[in-house]
Structure 1
């Protein structure tokens, strides 16, 4: 039998070097502890299966009426509002690893407790505690990034975490939907195990960071609530959080009013995650060189434009186009917003600052369904134009804050 020589492909050295340089710029040069944090985040989001399907579980498995399901989810939201401020206090007082690993282990234990609880009264208590535990880890995670990276490297790092969150969540939604058909208990175990793995990875592989300082005699002048720049930024973030959370609350209702099926909403939201997965590696390494204010204002404007466009569309491609616009704004807002908090926060208060920042998102999650549904009752244009106006107010406020932000960053670098 005739033997053919192996095929040889001619490699273009210049092309290979350009590809290597591009890959290094996007994914290289990151410290080992960050990759442990990133891997744990991805694993945890791959296992995030309970919360997205909680309403189905409560109605189908526990027999709760629609109003009861809504009440339980509201209790979860109340716990979520408290979660990050508490996590920030734990981070500053007992350390990053205690807050992150402890929060993850507590979340996993409460997931299992919820999966085996049948009493409605006990379910309400467990759900509230779960809401408190869910985001205890987040201020610690953000503080770890601030510890590991200089200011110019933080937007890229925060963007990489956002990338892991969206990649993992997109896959978990598909897998969770398939597993839920055979029973929900498997979802609780997967979620709990992913939390435990994340917590143990960080405990073993991520250093504690700067020593916690005893702030005796320093007063409260540097506390997060007394930092006017930080408080104003949090209030502006709250406006954007209210708008962003409409995608998870009123957007499916608005699409339904146009006669679009549930699958259309799923496709539109899948585009949101896919856009982030594709876009983040392309722009993440450049964000460190972008002025914080300019990037945040652009992100807020894009979110406003995307929401305004939503008032004019009625088809799946139309909604997809509007979502694609505000998704670019989401990338800018989340990456640069977390980086700005790290710039403003003293080392020993990074947990509290991130907890206060997280409070804005928690309040946004809680108020979005309440205010958004009322606006939708007045008509879809009223909802989406109001959202666009709120983004415009946030952008104008962020622009007015630019001088104070630059002075604070210059003082920190000096």
Structure 2
């Protein structure tokens, strides 16, 4: 049911990819004002996973997951109804917080019921459902945006409610975390004293900041090149289609290799792909750059989240997943701030040159952490197997 609910929800994920265009085109805000609103949305997204992690570890997973989708639907409708800059800012904060509230419970639920050896595949399947829905939703979103941005908010909220209903009424799993024998209590402060975890979270934040330029700076760059919202939707749909077609095969093949080295190569490809956007001026040139960074994205599907789950103590799965999602959500602040600033100061090529450099830094970081991360994961896996 979680897979089905995720698919339904992502089919209607219209607001986030088109939020920058909505703010500048429909609400008439400047690029700088839109950047501030997007940063405020990002601040909310930082709080959401932390709250969601606590809920996931203290409530049963079904209540935490289903309830968060109801909250998300309500905040999306409020954001769509807001018309003044202050109310847009307030509701953007609430919508950002609600958008990622469900993720820790979702990730922890998989860790509860899926064996360690199958976790990467399970997270990969969720990633696949995410992108299957996104492939359709992105194209439909561009078409809907040209007929009125209000439709984006209504339909996005409706699919959140569908996801919540599936979890509440069609999911029998009702797990709560049970500590293993002699397992110490672990909270956020304990986890944040782990330098290896902090390194991984930092790399995840950098990866997400590069990737989120597809939502923030890419639509503005394509609009500046004279292309429509529908053209942007097509470019994003190409990303989703490639993930849907290639990701199941890529996950099976890439799982045979050193995962940190795979992520290093993926980070480099991500940076090169986004860097190529600086040279794009036509629809097909933009699509070509999307193809390159999508290939880089394939190397991350399911593996990073699985690693975090393998390292987490039983009673802190929700909080470890929260920190992982927090590092990704930080991109909602970092990406708008960096992308719109680079676009305003350095022109259309500025953000994309920055992405190229950041991708190379990302690759180097994964290589530096490769050995200690894999050693830690192996030790944690042996401990889990002994307990089982």
Alignment TM-score, normalising by the size of structure 1: 0.80
Q: Secondary structure at the match of 1:223?
A: helix
- Taking structure 1 as reference, are residues 276 and 129 closer, same or farther at Cα in structure 2, changes over 3 Å only? same
Contact 1:292 1:340 in 2 (8 A): no
The answer on 1:373 being equivalent to 2:340 is: yes
Work out the CA distance in 2 between the residues paired with 1:258 and 1:51: 21
- Within 2, Cα distance between the matches of 1:231 and 1:405? 11
Where structure 1 has 5 or more consecutive residues not aligned to the other structure, the ranges are 1-35
| 1:361–1:399 CA distance, 2 compared to 1 (3 A) | same
User: Distance between the aligned counterparts of 1:113 and 1:318, measured in 2?
Assistant: 37
Question: What SS does the aligned partner of 2:174 have?
Answer: coil
State the Cα distance separating 1:289 from its structure 2 match.
3.6
Q: Does 1:130 align with 2:95?
A: yes
2:306 pairs with 339, 342, 346, which one?
339
What is the CA–CA distance in structure 2 between the aligned matches of 1:49 and 1:373, rounded to whole Å? 21
**Change in 2 beyond 3 A, CA 1:69/1:413:** closer
What is the CA-CA distance between 1:147 and the residue it aligns to?
Answer: 2.1
Are 1:360 and 2:323 an aligned pair?
no
1:75 maps to 40
Match 2:190 to one of 219, 223, 227: 223
Q: Please name the residue that 1:298 is paired with.
A: 265
Higher mean Cα deviation, 183-192 or 355-364?
183-192
| Higher CA-based Rg | 1
Of residues 364, 375, 390 in structure 1, which corresponds to 2:358?
390
2:61 is the alignment partner of 1:96: yes
Measure, in 2, the Cα distance between the counterparts of 1:318 and 1:68: 29
Secondary structure of the residue that 1:136 maps to in structure 2?
A: coil
Contact 2:138–2:236 (CA<8 Å) still a contact in 1? no
Give the gaps of 5 or more residues in structure 2.
383-388
Q: Which residue is 1:26 aligned to?
A: none
**Residue 295 of structure 1 contacts residue 336 of structure 1 at CA under 8 Å; is this kept in 2?**
no
Maintained 8 Å contact 1:95/1:212? no
**What is the rounded CA distance, in whole Å, between the counterparts of 1:304 and 1:54 in structure 2?**
23
Aligned to 1:272: 239
- 2: distance between equivalents of 1:81 and 1:412? 28
Residue 116 of structure 1: CA displacement? Answer: 5.2
Say whether the 8 Å CA contact 2:6–2:163 is kept in structure 1: yes
Aligned residues: CA RMSD: 3.1
Residues 20-169 of structure 1 correspond to what in structure 2 (within 5 A)?
A: 36-54=1-19, 65-66=29-30, 71-115=36-80, 121-169=86-134
Residues 208 and 359 (structure 1 numbering): CA distance in 2 closer, same or farther, change over 3 Å? same
Q: Spell out, residue by residue over 1:336-376, the C-alpha distance to the aligned partner (whole angstroms, 9 max, x if none).
A: 11111112212211111111111222211211122123334
Q: TM-score, normalised by structure 2?
A: 0.84
1:407 has 2:338 as partner: no
- State the distance in 1 between where 2:160 and 2:245 align: 26
Of residues 322, 334, 341, the one that matches 2:289 is: 322
Among candidates 246, 251, 260, match of residue 284 of structure 1? 251
User: Structure 1 residues 293 and 268, CA, compared in 2 at 3 Å: closer, same or farther?
Assistant: same
Tell me by how many angstroms 1:135 deviates: 0.9
2:135 touches 2:236 (CA, 8 Å); kept in 1?
A: no
Question: Retained in 2: the 8 A contact 1:229–1:405?
Answer: yes
Deviation at 1:259, TM superposition (A): 5.5
3-state SS of 1:211 partner = coil
| Residues in 1 aligned to 2:195 and 2:42: alpha-carbon distance in whole angstroms | 27
Q: Structure 2 CA distance, aligned partners of 1:290 and 1:152? A: 15
Q: Is the 8 A contact 1:155 1:336 kept in 2?
A: yes
